[in-house]
Amino acid sequence: MKPAGKPIAAIVVLYKMSVADSPSYRTLSAALRERPELAAKIDLLVADNSPEAQPLPVDFSGRYLHDGTNPGLAKRYNEALGAAAAAGAIWLLLLDQDTTLTEAYLAELETLAERLADEETIVAIVPKLMAGGRLQSPHLPRFLRTDFALDRSSYGVAGGLVRVYNSGALLRVSAVQGIGGFPEAYWLDYLDHATFHQLQARGGAIYLMDAALEHEMSIYRPDKHADPGHAARRRNQLSAEVRFYREFGSLQERLRHRGSLAWEAARSMSKGRFAEVARLLRAVFAPGRYNLR
């Protein structure tokens, strides 16, 4: 059955960035203006978690929702999921604020969204996300293998469990509804890992695109320790990481994860980052005390 509205609902989530400055919004909105056939297939929602609402560009199209309480990603994704389902959309496109979409990505996305629309076992179509010349997403489960990187030429249905980052991913609306929506316990960090793990645990398959996108990994910026907000972000990231492996990891994964955190603590000690050492050691020896906000 054809959807009542457009087959793809797209959401861009912003935080302390203007609509006009967001590479994700700029590149997608430009493509929608230049390609009417693409605009006929995609509804755009901009969800702004910045402290203050912002003036919109004169050529803004789509919907704009502001929530200055910064509820994170999961709640905004669930709002978009509900709207997509109500409109009869097949797919929900997730976009971080800082991903630059290419013509090759959008063309392939459009083709695959139509071709795989009725293949219910395909629960997500995902691009390759690159950072520093290295394929970051998708990747193999980190603590089951020494080498967790996928080959850059990987294409088609993934053979086995993969970890996937959110941005640029196209998720089947009915499949995400089938796992109860995006898990709001993971309000920001590890939301992608928890969501894609549950989708695959229910038998869903991930389809790997050929297209690759450059994606900034902000938590790994070289200047991160000079950022006043880094400590709070790092606490949340560790909290989510510990919870993810406690909730979804095998015994082997949990043990290797603790070993990895202990190794990170030793490296941080050698660099004099004692606050980071304390955070890491708490995660190793008292993981039950790490709770998400």
Last residue of a domain, one of 216, 233, 263: 216
Domain co-membership, 211 together with 256: no
Domain co-membership, 148 together with 33: yes
Domain co-membership, 155 together with 112: yes
**CA distance to 94, 128, 246, per residue, from 165 (Å):** 10, 9, 19
Q: Is the pTM of this model over 0.75?
A: yes
Last residue of a domain, one of 186, 216, 246: 216
Last residue of a domain, one of 216, 234, 258: 216
CB contact set of 120 (below 8 Å; sequence gap of 6+): 172, 174, 175
pLDDT digits (tens, 9 = 90+) for 170-194: 999 999 999 999 999 999 899 999 9
Task: Supply the range of the domain harboring residue 243.
Answer: 220-289
Residue for token digits 């010349």?
A: 133
C-alpha R_g of the chain: 19
pLDDT digits (tens, 9 = 90+) for 112-160: 999 999 999 999 999 999 888 888 899 888 765 555 677 777 889 998 8
